[in-house]
Amino acid sequence: MENVQVACDSCGTQLVPNAAYCEKCGARTRRARRLVRVAIRVELVFFVLVVLMVIGFTWIYAIQR
């Protein structure tokens, strides 16, 4: 599975297990950064789906007239 990050990438402080942020310097852990990337991707997919739906309905409306 995922390799657990034990120390902060920025300052080297030992991290609490499954921490999202470093307690000392506030830097995001690798796990948190990955989750943010996944969240952004999911958001983009939803945005594209909504845009495609609007385009699709506009197109259906246009050819029905």
Binding site for Zn ion (CB under 5 A): 8, 10-11, 13, 22, 24-25, 27
Q: How far is the CB of 4 from Zn ion (least distance, A)?
A: 16
Q: How far is the CB of 38 from Zn ion (least distance, A)?
A: 22
Q: Which is nearer to Zn ion, 27 or 32 (CB)?
A: 27
Q: How far is the CB of 30 from Zn ion (least distance, A)?
A: 12
* DSSP of the chain: -PPPP-B-TTT-PBPPTT-SB-TTT-PBPHHHHHHHHHHHHHHHHHHHHHHHHHHHHHHHHHHH-
